[in-house]
Amino acid sequence: MSGGGEKGSMTTKTPADFLKSIKGRPVVVKLNSGVDYRGILACLDGYMNIAMEQTEEYVNGQLKNKYGDAFIRGNNVLYISTSKRTLADGA
């Protein structure tokens, strides 16, 4: 029975696959400092340098700033997550 081999090949996804799949979607980028940036992922490179659009900066869960475009150096990134909720449209 070849179920084991098929299961592994069909469900294996690399981190690179995940990052390619979220380009153009809302994301949350958490920095080592604890600051969150929420916006649309425009692009990223192999060093995890990130370009975002419609970016909002959150400190301790509170909105501190809004940026049109933002660039985040990869060595500051703790994680990137897809955003569960849409960005505030009329804030």
What is residue 9's predicted lDDT score, i.e. its pLDDT? 52
Tokens 């060093």 belong to residue: 47
Query: Could you give the count of Cα atoms lying within 13 Å of 30 in the half-sphere of its Cβ?
Result: 10
Give the 3-state DSSP-derived string for the chain, with helices as H, strands as E and coil as C. CCHHHHHHHHHCCCHHHHHHHCCCCEEEEEECCCCEEEEEEEEECCCCCEEEEEEEEEECCEEEEEEEEEEECHHHEEEEEECCCCCCCCC
Give the structural domain span for 47: 24-82
Instruction: Read off the pLDDT of residues 34-59 as tens digits, 9 standing for 90 and up.
Output: 999 999 999 999 898 999 999 999 99
Is 91 inside a domain boundary? no
**What is the mean predicted confidence (pLDDT) over 58-73?**
96
Whether the predicted pLDDT of 1 surpasses 80: no
pTM over 0.85: no
For residue 60, give the CATH number of its domain.
2.30.30.100
Instruction: Read off the pLDDT of residues 16-33 as tens digits, 9 standing for 90 and up.
Output: 888 888 999 999 999 999
